[in-house]
């Protein structure tokens, strides 16, 4: 039976008493790909952080494969199947590439590192280099690969293409396209996000203001301009 069904309902969250996410709800089927779009500062990153337990949840439900996980701490949510690649990447700069990857194994044998090297051959070439010696694109590959080594059923990606050269964006998205898991993608490069995902939700001021298939979103130029300030290419 496929795993990775993510169901969110009535989610209210923020930092301390400051509420940023306001009654957000959506469902991503197992194996689905959801683009989470919106202008800067509307709560997209806070929503991902809430899903992995890094904010204050005031109300609402988060269910993974039918199991309520909103009461679990971050490490137990990761163990339940949530993988998270933050916008900050969080690479350990003083550790080598391989040592960084080992931190993502979560009890799996060291031989599983070959999965990361197969997905991103550049990391194999740089395995003995320190995290601080990597380019931005290599650090992003490392961050994604480390999350994947934990075998998550749902992968949450917060602006993985930010600051990367177009050729590196191509390589990263091609690698992500081979994954057989549920993906929630926050990304400012709208066309790349819509090419990758099947469904989309748009946020404004902490609320979902649109949800639906990507095909419908692409055809509604007024919708794209109103909530994103852009028109996606057909």
pLDDT tens track of the chain, all 234 residues? 678 999 999 999 999 999 999 999 999 999 999 999 999 999 999 999 999 999 999 999 999 999 999 999 999 999 999 999 999 889 999 999 999 999 999 899 999 999 999 999 999 999 999 999 999 999 999 999 999 999 999 999 999 999 999 999 999 999 999 999 999 999 999 999 999 999 999 999 999 999 999 998 888 889 888 888 875 554
Mutual orientation of helices 136-149 and 166-176 as an angle, nearest 10°?
10
Give the per-residue pLDDT at 1: 61
Residue 86's CB: how many other CB atoms inside 10 A?
18
Domain at 6-81+153-228: CATH architecture: 3-Layer(aba) Sandwich (3.40)
Q: What is the pTM of this model?
A: 0.94
**pLDDT per residue over 132-172, tens digit each?**
999 999 999 999 999 999 999 999 999 999 999 999 999 99
Rounded to whole angstroms, the Cα distance separating 116 from 148 reads 8
Burial 96-127 (b: 16+ CB within 10 A, else e): bbbebbbebbeeeeeebbeebbebbebbeebb
Q: Where are the domains of the chain?
A: 6-81+153-228, 95-151
Give the per-residue pLDDT at 127: 96
């Amino acid at each position: 039976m496929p795993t990775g069904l993510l169901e969110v309902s009535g989610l209210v969250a923020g930092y301390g008493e400051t509420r940023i996410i306001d009654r957000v709800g959506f469902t991503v089927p197992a194996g689905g790909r959801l683009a989470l779009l919106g202008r800067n500062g509307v709560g997209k990153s806070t929503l991902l952080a809430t899903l992995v337990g890094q904010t204050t949840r005031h109300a609402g439900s988060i269910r993974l494969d039918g199991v309520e996980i909103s009461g679990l701490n971050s490490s137990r949510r990761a163990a339940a199947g949530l993988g998270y690649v933050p916008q900050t990447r969080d690479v350990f700069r003083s550790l080598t590439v391989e040592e960084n990857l080992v931190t993502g194994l979560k009890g799996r044998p060291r031989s599983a590192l070959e999965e990361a090297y197969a997905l991103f051959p550049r990391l194999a070439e740089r395995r003995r280099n320190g995290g601080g010696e990597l380019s931005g694109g290599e650090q992003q590959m490392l961050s994604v690969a480390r999350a994947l080594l934990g075998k998550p059923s749902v992968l949450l990606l917060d602006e993985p293409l930010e600051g990367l050269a177009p050729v590196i964006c191509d390589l990263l998205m091609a690698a992500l396209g081979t994954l057989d898991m549920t993906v929630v993608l926050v990304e400012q490069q709208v066309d790349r996000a819509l090419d990758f995902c099947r469904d989309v939700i748009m946020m404004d001021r902490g609320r979902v203001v649109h949800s639906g298939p990507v095909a419908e979103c692409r055809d509604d130029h007024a919708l794209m301009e109103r909530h994103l300030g852009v028109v996606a290419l057909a």
